[in-house]
Amino acid sequence: MLAETTAFTLDGISARPVRVEVDVHRGLPSFQIVGLPDAAVREARERVRAAMVNCGFEFPLRRITANLAPADLRKVGPGLDLALAAALLAASGEVPPEMLEKWAFAGELALDGSVRPVRGALAMAEAARKCGKQGIVCPAHNGSEAALAAGVEVRAVDSLAALGSLSRGTVPGEVPVAAAVDPGPEPPDIGDLRGQAHLRKAMEVAAAGGHGLLMVGPPGAGKSLAARRMPSILPPLAGDEVLEVARIASACGAGGGRITTARPFRAPHHTVSAAGLVGGGSPPRPGEITLAHRGVLFLDELCEFSRPALEALREPLENGLVSISRAGGRQVLPSRFMLVAAANPCPCGRGDEDPACRCGPAAIRRYRSTLSGALADRIDMTVAVAQPSAGELAGSDVEDSASVRRRVVGARKLMAARLGPGLTNATAPDRDLASFTLGGTAVELLDHAYRTQGLSGRARSRVLRLARTLADLEGGGSATESHVAQALQLRRRTGS
């Protein structure tokens, strides 16, 4: 007897539908899975067998063939267990096959029949809707996450035994309540950053416009402290951004099933590989830049990263997407992140202005050469960070994150009205630069800087975007000569 149902396999952060066909007929007892399964899918035979027996079902001692279509798509992960078990129950006559036609199944089985959570439940529920399915049966742990998908019914089960209700003509499981969106833990406050007025201004501009920021200075000057406080001045995720980030976190097994409005903050170690940073592997998996989508990617000790890893950031910084091409196909993953980086001025960290620095010119050039000119050109701001004085560190007259965030939110509202939802001055398409109005003298200053400072075309565009952000922080209107001058100062290394 033949039975069919639908399951899903993850392809990057997307869920690809898989038609699960199970045939049970006479012959020597065997259980074979075909259709390009990986090791985890092949091992489902033993999990399904033990789960069925331990839940009171009869495992057929016949020749069993399970086909996963399409046959040229590699099936990965244990999320097909529940669908295989459901189709096998129907093919052996224990549940009616017609009950499986309108529903998809996703879940990993334990040997005792309990249903364990899977990655990408939200993406699978959305894929079930696109496939025209009435709903999806998923693990109880994933139910609230899957219920966020609109236009599809979700049933949550905690055991394979719940599928026994199919024989009575009812769909198994409970209807879960959609996960509540919470603000997440409170990030560290920017008020902890003292004596760095120039850096605090650069952080505010970066947060408002989504601009990249590189901090250069000696160890202990406050670079890492500042970077880890960047999320506290960013506006929370809103609307579709929440689901975008939740979908990525779910597919990557991050976030613990929580849905939050807090923007992602990723800080990979400098030993990360290019594949770990931008994505790759076999099968291809999203990297840190995709996990940082709509949030902050912090690269501490920038010049200690491998050059191939850093060079792989060039296209994502420009386009907000990363394309991973392999022999088996191509994936395009979102990577619209704000880059915040920190670096020492030389290998010892003191800088050539410090008499204690013993780094020669060749060593300094070799150290700085990790950051290529092409990548540096894509970072909007480069700020020199000096050691604050003892008096500045003891001071307490600094703004907290809430005050700075109010100005950032106000500036982003102006950008959304001018450019569209979700866009900032840094991410706006080049065609929208015509809307970035400049006063007469501001145009002259920008043109003069372009001629005399050796700016590239990209650098000129970045200065214009920075000037527009500075104007938006002051309430909008045309960007003036003062805004362009500040943008040029933020564009090059300059201290406070």
Q: Using one digit for the tens of pLDDT, what is the confidence trace for 64-91?
A: 999 999 998 999 999 999 999 999 999 9
Identify the band that residue 391 occupies on the pLDDT scale cut at 50, 70 and 90. confident
Q: How many helices (H) and strands (E) does the chain have?
A: 19, 20
- Burial class of residue 343 in the structure, from the number of CB atoms within 10 Å of its CB (0-12 exposed, 13-18 middle, 19+ buried): buried
pTM of the model: 0.91
Please give the pLDDT value at position 327: 67
Give residue-wise pLDDT tens across range 22-31.
999 999 999 9
Kindly tell me if the per-residue pLDDT of 407 is higher than 90.
yes
- Residue 315: enclosing H or E segment and its boundaries? helix 314-319
Reply yes or no: is the peptide bond before residue 283 cis, omega within 30 of 0.
Answer: yes
Please give the pLDDT value at position 199: 94
Reply yes or no: is the peptide bond before residue 60 cis, omega within 30 of 0.
Answer: no
Q: Is 479 within 8 Å of 496 (Cβ atoms)?
A: no
- Burial class of residue 361 in the structure, from the number of CB atoms within 10 Å of its CB (0-12 exposed, 13-18 middle, 19+ buried): exposed
Kindly tell me if the per-residue pLDDT of 108 is higher than 70.
yes
Mean pLDDT of the region 304-309: 94
Tell me what the pLDDT averaged over the chain comes to: 92
Kindly tell me if the per-residue pLDDT of 494 is higher than 70.
no
**CATH 3.30.230.10 residue window(s) in the chain:** 2-168
Give residue-wise pLDDT tens across range 189-223.
999 998 888 999 999 999 999 999 999 999 988 99
Q: Does domain 190-491 have CATH number 3.40.50.300?
A: yes
Reply yes or no: is the peptide bond before residue 219 cis, omega within 30 of 0.
Answer: no
Kindly tell me if the per-residue pLDDT of 495 is higher than 60.
no
Kindly tell me if the per-residue pLDDT of 390 is higher than 90.
no
Give residue-wise pLDDT tens across range 114-157.
999 999 999 999 999 999 999 999 999 999 999 999 999 999 99
Identify the band that residue 434 occupies on the pLDDT scale cut at 50, 70 and 90. confident
Measured between alpha carbons, how far is 302 from 340 in angstroms, rounded to an integer?
10
Measured between alpha carbons, how far is 124 from 251 in angstroms, rounded to an integer?
9
Kindly tell me if the per-residue pLDDT of 328 is higher than 80.
no
Please give the pLDDT value at position 32: 96
Kindly tell me if the per-residue pLDDT of 314 is higher than 60.
yes
Please give the pLDDT value at position 360: 85
Please give the pLDDT value at position 496: 36
**CATH 3.40.50.300 residue window(s) in the chain:** 190-491
Q: Which of 369, 348, 289 is nearest to 324 (CA)?
A: 289
Q: Does domain 2-168 have CATH number 3.30.230.10?
A: yes
Beta-bridged to residue 296, according to DSSP, are 265, 338
Measured between alpha carbons, how far is 177 from 111 in angstroms, rounded to an integer?
28
